[in-house]
C-alpha cells in the first residue's frame, strides 16, 4: 500500500512538473542565447526578432519591422505581447527588448575610425537587457534612461525595467552607475 501511495505521489509530481514546463511563460528574454549572437562590426544598428512582432512607432501609426531591418537615432520601437527582439549595435553590442516594451533610441552613433560608440535609450515601459561589448574610448557612452532613473555603463551587461513609475537595474558584470 505504501509503495502504491508513493508511486501516485511521484506521478502527480511528474505530471505537475510537465504541466508547469509546457505552460510556463516563455516570453522572457533568453539572454544566454541572445547575447551569444554578438556580430562583428556593422555600419548601422539592425534588429533581430526572436519571437512575435516589433513595431516602429510613427505619428499616428505603427510600422512592422522585419529581421535585418536597420534602426536609427530617434526610432521609437515597441514589442508585442509575446514578443522578444534584439537591436544589434554597430560594434556588436546588444540591446534586447522583452515583451510589451516601448523605448526610443535617442542616439546610436558608432565611429569606426576611433571606435567611439554612443547609445542612449529612453525606456518608456517594459524591460531591456544590455550587453555592452566594450566602450573603448572616453567619449563612448551607453545610457538607459527612464522617467526617474538613468543607468550609465562602461563595458558590462545589465538589465533594466520600468513599470508603474518604478525602475529596476540589475548588473551582471562590472559596474553600472545609477542616478535618479
Per-residue confidence (pLDDT) for residue 24, from 0 to 100: 41
Per-residue confidence (pLDDT) for residue 64, from 0 to 100: 96
Please, what is the Cα angle at 96 between 93 and 97, to 5 degrees?
A: 150
Per-residue confidence (pLDDT) for residue 35, from 0 to 100: 35
* Per-residue pLDDT tens over the stretch 114-165: 778 889 999 999 999 988 876 666 677 889 999 998 888 765 556 777 788 8
Per-residue confidence (pLDDT) for residue 142, from 0 to 100: 86
Per-residue confidence (pLDDT) for residue 68, from 0 to 100: 94
- What parts of the chain have a pLDDT lower than 50? 8, 10, 14, 16-41
Per-residue confidence (pLDDT) for residue 56, from 0 to 100: 95
Per-residue confidence (pLDDT) for residue 36, from 0 to 100: 39
Per-residue confidence (pLDDT) for residue 161, from 0 to 100: 79
Name the pTM for this structure. Answer: 0.67
Amino acid at each position: 500500500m505504501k509503495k502504491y501511495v508513493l508511486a501516485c505521489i511521484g506521478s502527480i509530481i511528474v505530471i505537475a512538473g510537465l504541466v508547469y514546463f509546457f505552460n510556463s511563460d516563455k516570453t522572457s528574454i533568453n539572454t544566454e542565447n541572445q547575447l551569444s549572437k554578438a556580430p562583428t562590426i556593422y555600419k548601422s544598428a539592425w534588429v533581430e526578432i526572436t519571437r512575435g512582432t516589433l513595431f516602429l512607432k510613427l505619428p499616428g501609426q505603427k510600422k512592422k519591422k522585419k529581421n535585418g531591418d536597420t534602426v536609427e537615432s530617434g526610432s521609437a520601437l515597441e514589442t508585442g505581447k509575446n514578443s522578444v527582439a534584439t537591436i544589434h549595435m554597430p560594434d556588436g553590442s546588444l540591446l534586447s527588448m522583452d515583451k510589451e516594451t516601448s523605448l526610443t533610441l535617442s542616439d546610436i552613433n558608432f565611429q569606426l575610425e576611433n571606435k567611439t560608440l554612443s547609445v542612449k535609450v529612453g525606456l518608456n515601459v517594459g524591460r531591456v537587457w544590455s550587453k555592452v561589448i566594450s566602450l573603448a574610448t572616453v567619449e563612448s557612452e551607453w545610457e538607459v534612461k527612464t522617467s526617474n532613473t538613468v543607468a550609465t555603463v562602461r563595458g558590462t551587461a545589465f538589465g533594466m525595467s520600468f513599470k508603474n513609475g518604478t525602475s529596476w537595474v540589475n548588473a551582471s558584470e562590472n559596474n553600472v552607475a545609477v542616478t535618479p
